[in-house]
Amino acid sequence: MAEAAPRRIAFQGERGAYGDEATGAFFGASVARIPCPTFRDVFEAVARGTVDGGVVPLESALAGPVAEVVDLLLEFTPPIAGELRLRVRHCLLAPPGRTLEGLTRALSHPQALAQCGGWLRKHHLQPVPEANTAVAARRVAQEALEGTAAIASRTAAELYGLTVLAEDIADSPDNATRFLAVGPAVPPHLGSRWKTSVVLTLDNGPGALAGVLTAFAAHGVNVARLESRPGGVRAWDYRWCLDVDGAADSAPVKAALSEARSACTSLRVLGSYALSD
């Protein structure tokens, strides 16, 4: 019997980016990783069915939600198949033979540069923005610019033949990103903990949001994330995005959702999915 073709999973960026790393962590080393220039390209590929699924970052522990991804989730409403928390370990990468003492600047994504700002100042390195961490690593490898390094992952170093001069250089040790798997492909080996993501709209009146939150509290359901996004139709109308702990078909969440609906003008479950251990 012929061996099944590996699943095709889209991510934003290039090989060696943290999205690439998260895709491998979700689906295993044998998955076919499909790089896409933008987050919208990932969602469009999933919607067209040209890939089996996608992997996108939802939230950084240090920088907060990725607003563009949240808005695309609301626009495309793909099934959410799983969540992964990836430890982001920024490394300083340079061509073989270079040393830290000979460097004057570091290339990377602006968010990575900001997360390593204290370390860069301490070592007198000028931050230089690039499109993403993998682009920075590839440019440093290909152009071998004098005095120039990249901030990216160890995976990028291995992929582009660079030397890791320093590891874990982010200013905070708690640097992590929550990634979602979107589309029909469900990652293997997810854990036993579940989460449910909901989007709702409310009448603009006193206590409207409190009524929703009270419904979850009354049934012992923890609201793990709450944020508002523009409604997209009328000015100053908002949609509320909630993540709650537990599966949508569990008794407490099911009862809380039913009660919350009476306090909303609309409520839709975006997905109920397991978290990676």
**Rounded to 5, what percent of the chain is helix, strand, coil?**
30, 35, 35
* CA atoms in the 13 A half-sphere facing the CB of 27: 30
Q: Which among 39, 177, 196, 216 is annotated as catalytic? A: 177
76: annotated active-site residue: no
Instruction: Give SS3 for 51.
Output: coil
CB 241 within 8 A of CB 199: yes
Instruction: Give SS3 for 267.
Output: strand
Q: How far is CA 75 from CA 11, 93, 95, 209, 221, in A?
A: 18, 37, 42, 22, 27
Q: Which among 26, 179, 196, 216 is annotated as catalytic? A: 179
Task: Give one word for 144, left, alpha or beta, with left for phi > 0 and alpha for psi -120 to 50.
Answer: left
177: annotated active-site residue: yes
CA atoms of 36 and 24, how far apart (whole Å): 15
Catalytic residue list: 177, 179
